[in-house]
Amino acid sequence: MIVLSERLKKVTTYIPIESVIADIGSDHAYLPCYAVQNGLIKSAIAGEVNQGPFDSALSQVKALRLENQIEVRLGDGLEVVSPNEVNVVVIAGMGGQLISNILNRGKARLEEVHRLILQPNMGAKFIREWLEANGWALITESILEEDEKIYEILVAERTETTNPLSDAERLLGPFLMREKNETFIKKWEREQMNWKRIVNQLEQANPSEEIIDRKRDVLKKIQIVSEALK
């Protein structure tokens, strides 16, 4: 039986039972193998863009004799999926900007997808902005720490009407802001300290329009976090 990291195990809790999923950037196909072995999904497509990870994922699926339920495909992002082929897309373990780019390039393949489960390693703000701009609404979020790294998980479904997010909600996450658990506080206190160091460095630099704009942006984020952590 596959043993998942706590991060990926949490991701699987958001997959509706009996789904057909695409796991983009599947990393040895651990997540779809676990999901099949535990009866969480009907079937899966495991997508990998590079030959080495593709070969590793294929070997894993064959070793577990799950070829009838998991198909490993080589391709860039959502190119591995045909329209109407899956109803849930999982993208985990990448930067938020990259995940947003993958979703944007593959929009035409998301028409029959009902749920997105997205786990950025950083830059979740980019994903929230993309979801808001493309007719998807967050239905829940979670945050957890594993091996001294903090991860966010964003779950979204299609919506006809979206309530615009505030700047604070785009940065911090509307659900995470409301819950404000210890991991959330730890993450943003750490980020705030880092931003304050950046401001100090910018103040030592020769002033320019770019430096002034950068400092203004960082100070705004510091203020948002300070308000959220009160």
HEC-encoded secondary structure of 71-140: EEEECCHHHHCCCCCCCEEEEEEEEHHHHHHHHHHCHHHHCCCCEEEEEEEECHHHHHHHHHHCCEEEEE
Report how far residue 146's alpha carbon sits from residue 77's, in angstroms, rounded to the nearest whole number.
26
Beta bridge partner(s), residue 158: 136
Does residue 68 carry a pLDDT above 90?
Answer: yes
**Residue 191 C-beta-side C-alpha neighbours within 13 Å:** 23
The per-residue pLDDT for 165 is 95
The per-residue pLDDT for 182 is 97
Find, among 29, 19, 37, the residue nearest to 115 by Cα.
19
| CA distance readout (Å), 69 to 36, 64, 119, 186 | 7, 11, 23, 40
Quick one: which H or E segment has residue 41? strand 41-48
Q: How much of the chain exceeds pLDDT 70, in percent? A: 100
CB 7, CB 150: distance < 8 Å: no
The per-residue pLDDT for 65 is 97
Would you place residue 27 in the very low, low, confident or very high pLDDT band (cuts 50, 70, 90)? confident
Q: What is the mean pLDDT of the chain?
A: 96
The per-residue pLDDT for 146 is 96
| CA distance readout (Å), 139 to 54, 61, 88, 115, 186 | 32, 31, 14, 10, 23
- Our CA dihedral for 28, 43, 150, 115, rounded to 10 degrees, sits at 140
The per-residue pLDDT for 49 is 95
The per-residue pLDDT for 1 is 85
Does residue 207 carry a pLDDT above 90?
Answer: no
Would you place residue 163 in the very low, low, confident or very high pLDDT band (cuts 50, 70, 90)? confident
Quick one: which H or E segment has residue 20? strand 19-24
Report how far residue 44's alpha carbon sits from residue 32's, in angstroms, rounded to the nearest whole number.
6
Does residue 162 carry a pLDDT above 80?
Answer: no
User: Mean of the pLDDT values across residues 25-49?
Assistant: 96
Region 6-162: CATH code:
3.40.50.150
Residue 33 φ/ψ, nearest 5 degrees: -65, -45
The per-residue pLDDT for 95 is 97
CB 148, CB 201: distance < 8 Å: no
User: Mean of the pLDDT values across residues 13-27?
Assistant: 96
User: Mean of the pLDDT values across residues 118-132?
Assistant: 97
Would you place residue 206 in the very low, low, confident or very high pLDDT band (cuts 50, 70, 90)? confident
The per-residue pLDDT for 74 is 97
Q: In the chain, what are the domain boundaries?
A: 6-162, 183-228
User: Mean of the pLDDT values across residues 190-219?
Assistant: 94
The per-residue pLDDT for 53 is 94
